[in-house]
């Protein structure tokens, strides 16, 4: 029996920071000290606080160590494991409280306001050991469904919980299941959309990496509810760790008889197959995703017929997002009332957000619906680094919009976000400060959608490219106010005429920045000025009188644009300058400015 | 293939192991701390530590946390075991061995 558990984060963030090597070092050195019967080393999913990774937690003390390197392993074993003394210098700064005590993890600012439902097992269990999932009530929901509930009762529970699709659109999950159940057909399919494509979003990846069985169990329950015997998980090949853990999980479930012809001896048959996508953004759209599973090129098709009527291989199909599935087992076990007690009137439960951009605690947070943006950014996220001022938060990725400071106190739910011109989306949240140019941000997202447009319909293929050209014109200071009006008209045209969600939402980043930051667009057009000093064609680097003539910048300049005499003020040749900013970084006297 | 009973058996077995990772209500728990500096280890603190953990486990006692610490300063009296019961005065046992460890746990259960 183990007295100590060392949990090493094995999510993608920590993994790229060498956490795999750290785990091996622990395993090897524990063995050398002959402690392998006392100490268990566990690779887990994401803890959420990716900013300070690699992270390890040692139980029973609950010591939370951050920023660990392989070289730190011997000290942790010698001091903490053998002598029982916490290694203060490695403790997460908020956790070091004197010598003997540590704050419980749930008391730190980052975790205090979070409620973990979809992420409940991430960072707690080893995702590659099915027994650990079972210990956390895994597969109890499936047992309950198969032995105590009939399919309609399962759907009624999901309906009563008020769960809405976590992929972005927010369609009520129970209603979707009911549509599929009502179809009279021997063959139906259950699909899982794990094609997470929004830039900066990694919620679904973390659930798959940290708790793959939760998705398998929920899909099996969905299969029982609608009368399906085959499930597909469409996951992107760029998520190698998630794919690997899913494969392991599926193999273990089959071995245990939790997938297969006669699940747990109840006679119900269900199996799940993995389909790897090659990372086309449009394949996150439901009809394109199913076309891709069928083996065709991933292109959307018009709806109706909706997938619940005629979906994969022209059979009734339900398609839910990873995070939606991750909530199902908890709803079945704790009851719909428990779930509906969290959140706002029309948005129940919790939502996972991937915090990124200009924020201290980059990482993964799960909050009850109705939490304000201010709480997420200031309390959980730890605020903006370097004392900069908050400008906007972008939610919903390339389909969403920007939320400015004036709306920081709005409770987050599906309907509120739409009313202020953004959307929930899958849960990416990118924080921007005063150094971000909003026109440049809109351009960034539009470049992404132009790249990812599948080209099937004209408004999206050509309209978005024209839109990007307008933005190019604005950021190079060549646009007129007439262009701005034309551009806005084009946005509405693309929105109302595109075939699928990708095109219908592509102009959103432009429209929402126009709504809240029109002054920035006008500064680019009327004054040929980028207020945040981002757009390269509208800025100049200049050397001020503070220059002492040390020549450090001219030696660093990659294009030899800076010349001058030693001990006299240097000068920048604007025609040669490529605006890389290296001179500013090099100057010790703050003599070079952007304007 | 497993039956529902098998799954429930695995669950019970694994829960005993995994409950170590839940320290959300640490304040309410009884803490038993074993001095395991060089002095304690040489005096046999590891045997004592193992005996304490095994006893808590076999008796299936909830809410007891057994941890290690460094030298407590009473090197002559090692192995030293400190018991913190919430709301009560801390008790320090000296020159503990495996049998005394069992006794400590038994006294806790009675109290």
CATH code for the domain in which residue A300 is found: 3.40.50.11540
Tell whether A76 and A101 lie within a shared domain.
yes
Each residue's pLDDT expressed in tens, for chain A with a length of 595 residues: 688 899 999 999 999 999 999 999 999 999 998 888 889 999 999 988 888 889 999 988 788 899 999 999 999 998 888 877 788 888 887 644 444 455 667 778 888 889 999 999 998 999 999 999 999 999 999 999 999 999 999 999 999 999 999 988 899 999 999 999 999 999 999 999 999 988 889 999 999 999 999 999 999 999 999 999 999 999 999 999 999 999 999 999 999 999 999 999 999 999 999 999 988 999 999 999 999 999 999 999 998 999 999 999 999 999 999 999 999 999 999 999 999 999 999 999 999 999 999 999 999 999 999 999 999 999 999 999 999 999 999 998 898 999 999 999 999 999 999 999 888 888 899 999 999 999 999 999 999 999 999 999 999 999 999 999 999 999 999 999 999 999 999 999 999 999 999 999 999 999 999 999 999 999 999 999 999 999 988 988 989 999 999 999 999 999 999 999 999 999 999 989 998 889 999 999 989 988 8
Which residues of chain A neighbour B68 with C-beta distances below 8 Å? 82-84
Q: Do B53 and A3 touch (CB under 8 A)?
A: yes
Q: Do A134 and B54 touch (CB under 8 A)?
A: no
Tell whether A392 and A471 lie within a shared domain.
no
Structural contact between residues A308 and A179, judged by C-beta atoms closer than 8 angstroms:
yes
CB crowding A29-50: b at 16 or more within 10 Å, else e: bbeeeebeebbbbbbbbbbbbb
Residues 6+ apart with CB under 8 A from A461: A453, A455
Q: What is the DSSP string of A186-207?
A: S--EEEEEE---STT--HHHHH
Strand ranges, E, within A220-290: 230-236, 271-277
Tell whether A561 and A517 lie within a shared domain.
no
Tell whether A449 and A501 lie within a shared domain.
yes
Domain boundary residue, one of A279, A309, A339: A339
Residues 6+ apart with CB under 8 A from B75: B37, B39
Residue A81 in tokens: 């494991």
Q: Do A60 and B11 touch (CB under 8 A)?
A: no
CATH code for the domain in which residue A394 is found: 3.10.20.600
Which residues of chain B neighbour A59 with C-beta distances below 8 Å? 20-21, 23
Q: How far apart are CA A421 and CA A402, in angstroms?
A: 8
Tell whether A422 and A451 lie within a shared domain.
no
Residue A17 in tokens: 């920071």
Q: What is the pLDDT of residue A103?
A: 62
DSSP state, A409? Answer: T
Tell whether A291 and A413 lie within a shared domain.
no
Tell whether A427 and A368 lie within a shared domain.
yes
Residue A534 lies in a domain: no
Tokens 């170590």 found at: B20
Tell whether A284 and A190 lie within a shared domain.
yes
Q: Do B18 and A132 touch (CB under 8 A)?
A: yes
Q: How far apart are CA B79 and CA B38, in angstroms?
A: 10
Q: Name the residue among A83, A138, A143 with its Cβ closest to that of B36.
A: A83
Residue A368 in tokens: 């009850």
Tell whether A329 and A215 lie within a shared domain.
yes
Structural contact between residues A217 and A142, judged by C-beta atoms closer than 8 angstroms:
yes
Tell whether A485 and A386 lie within a shared domain.
no
Q: Do B7 and A143 touch (CB under 8 A)?
A: yes
Q: Name the residue among A40, A60, A256 with its Cβ closest to that of B67.
A: A60
Pick the residue from chain A with its C-alpha nearest to B33.
Answer: A84
Domain boundary residue, one of A307, A339, A371: A339
The per-type count for chain A, helices as H runs and strands as E runs, is 24, 19
Residue A561 lies in a domain: yes
* Domain count for chain A: 5
Q: What is the pLDDT of residue A97?
A: 44
Q: How far apart are CA A295 and CA A126, in angstroms?
A: 34
B4 pLDDT above the threshold of 50: yes
Q: Name the residue among A62, A83, A257 with its Cβ closest to that of B37.
A: A83
Which residues of chain A neighbour B36 with C-beta distances below 8 Å? 82-84
Q: Chains A and B: how many Cβ contacts under 8 Å?
A: 91
Which residue from A430, A394, A357, A387 is spatially nearest to A516, judged by alpha carbons?
A394
Query: DSSP H helical segments within A413-559, as ranges?
Result: 414-419, 438-452, 458, 464-475, 481-497, 501-505, 508-526, 552-556
Dihedral, A546, A552, A553, A559 alpha carbons, nearest 10: 150
Residue A114 lies in a domain: no
Domain map of chain B by residue range? Answer: 24-110
CATH code for the domain in which residue A579 is found: 3.30.70.20
Give the H or E element holding residue B35: strand B30-35
Q: Name the residue among A2, A84, A260 with its Cβ closest to that of B36.
A: A84
Residue A446 lies in a domain: yes
Instruction: For residue B47, give Cα distances in angstroms to A29, B63, B84, B102.
Output: 21, 22, 20, 12
- Overall CATH class of domain B24-110: alpha beta
Using DSSP's 3-state secondary structure scheme, residue A274 falls into: strand
Pick the residue from chain B with its C-alpha nearest to A111.
Answer: B24
Q: How far apart are CA A325 and CA A259, in angstroms?
A: 16
Residue A468 lies in a domain: yes
Question: What ipTM describes this predicted complex?
Answer: 0.83
Residue A429 lies in a domain: yes
Instruction: For residue A115, give Cα distances in angstroms to A214, A267, A349, A384.
Output: 17, 36, 9, 23
How many Cα atoms occupy the beta-carbon half-sphere of B54 within 13 Å? 13
Q: Which residues of A touch B (CB under 8 A)?
A: 1-5, 7, 40, 59-62, 82-85, 100, 104-106, 124-125, 131-132, 134-140, 143, 147, 256-258, 260, 262, 264-265
Residue A300 lies in a domain: yes
| Closest Cα in chain B, distance from residue A305 (Å) | 40
Domain boundary residue, one of A433, A462, A490: A433
Show the domain range for A291: 130-339
Q: Do A5 and B20 touch (CB under 8 A)?
A: yes
């Amino acid at each position: 029996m183990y007295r100590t558990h060392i949990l090493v984060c094995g999510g993608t963030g920590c993994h790229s920071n060498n956490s795999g090597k750290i785990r091996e070092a622990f395993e090897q050195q524990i063995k050398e000290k002959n402690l392998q019967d006392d100490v268990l080393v566990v690779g887990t999913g994401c803890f959420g606080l990716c900013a300070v990774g690699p992270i390890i937690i040692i139980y029973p003390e609950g010591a939370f160590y951050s920023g660990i390197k392989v070289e730190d392993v011997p000290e942790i074993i010698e001091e903490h494991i053998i002598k029982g003394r916490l290694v203060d210098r490695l403790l997460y700064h908020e956790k070091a409280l004197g010598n003997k005590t540590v704050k419980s993890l749930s008391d730190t600012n980052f975790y205090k306001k979070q409620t973990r439902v979809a992420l409940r097992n991430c960072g707690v269990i080893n995702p590659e050991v099915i027994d650990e999932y079972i210990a956390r009530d895994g597969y109890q929901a499936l047992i309950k469904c198969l032995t105590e509930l009939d399919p309609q009762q399962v759907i009624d529970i999901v309906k009563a919980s008020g769960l809405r699709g976590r992929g972005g659109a927010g369609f009520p999950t129970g209603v979707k299941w009911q549509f599929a159940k009502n179809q009279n057909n021997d063959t139906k399919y259950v699909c899982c959309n794990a094609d997470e494509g929004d830039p900066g979003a990694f919620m679904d990846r973390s659930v798959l990496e940290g708790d793959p069985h939760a998705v398998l169990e929920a899909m099996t329950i969905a299969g029982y509810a609608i009368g399906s015997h085959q499930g597909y998980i469409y996951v992107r090949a760029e998520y190698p760790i998630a794919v690997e853990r899913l494969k392991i999980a599926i193999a273990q479930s089959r071995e245990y008889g939790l997938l297969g012809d006669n699940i747990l001896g109840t006679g119900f048959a269900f199996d799940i197959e993995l389909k790897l996508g090659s990372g086309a953004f449009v394949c996150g759209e439901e009809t394109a995703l199913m076309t891709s599973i069928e083996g065709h090129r991933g292109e959307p098709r018009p709806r109706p017929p909706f997938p619940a009527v005629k979906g994969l291989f022209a059979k009734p199909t339900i398609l839910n997002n990873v995070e939606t599935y991750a909530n199902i087992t908890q709803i079945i076990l704790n009851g719909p009332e428990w779930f509906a007690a969290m959140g706002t009137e029309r948005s129940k439960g919790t939502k996972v957000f991937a915090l990124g951009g200009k924020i201290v605690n980059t990482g993964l947070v799960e909050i009850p619906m109705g939490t304000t943006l201010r709480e997420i950014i200031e309390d959980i996220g730890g605020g903006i680094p370097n004392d900069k001022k908050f400008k906007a938060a972008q939610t919903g990725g390339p389909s969403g919009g920007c939320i400015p400071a004036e709306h920081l106190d709005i409770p987050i739910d599906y309907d509120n976000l739409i009313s202020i011109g953004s959307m929930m989306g899958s849960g990416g949240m990118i924080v921007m400060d005063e150094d971000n140019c909003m026109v440049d941000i809109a351009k960034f997202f539009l470049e992404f959608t132009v790249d990812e447009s599948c080209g099937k319909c004209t408004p999206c293929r050509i309209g978005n490219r024209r839109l990007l050209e307008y933005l190019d014109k604005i950021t190079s200071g060549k646009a007129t106010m007439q262009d701005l009006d034309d551009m806005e008209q084009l946005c509405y045209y693309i929105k109302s005429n595109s075939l699928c969600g990708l095109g219908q939402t592509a102009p959103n980043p432009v429209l929402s920045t126009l709504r809240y930051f029109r002054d920035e667009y006008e500064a680019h057009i009327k004054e040929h000025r980028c207020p945040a000093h981002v757009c390269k064609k509208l800025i100049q680097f200049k050397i001020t009188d503070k220059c002492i003539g040390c020549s450090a910048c001219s030696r660093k300049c990659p294009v030899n644009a800076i010349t001058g005499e030693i001990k006299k003020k240097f000068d920048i040749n604007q025609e040669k300058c490529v605006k890389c900013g290296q001179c500013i970084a090099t100057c010790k006297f703050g003599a070079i400015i952007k304007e | 293939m497993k039956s529902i009973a098998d799954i429930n058996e695995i669950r019970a077995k694994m829960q005993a192991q995994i409950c170590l990772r839940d320290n959300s209500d640490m304040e309410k728990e009884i803490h038993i701390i074993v001095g395991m500096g060089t002095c304690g280890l040489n005096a046999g603190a590891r045997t004592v530590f193992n005996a304490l953990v095994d006893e808590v486990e076999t008796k299936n006692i909830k809410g007891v946390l057994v941890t290690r610490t460094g030298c407590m300063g009473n090197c002559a009296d090692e192995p030293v075991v400190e018991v913190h019961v919430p709301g009560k005065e801390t008790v320090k046992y000296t020159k503990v061995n495996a049998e005394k460890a069992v006794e400590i746990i038994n006294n806790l259960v009675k109290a």
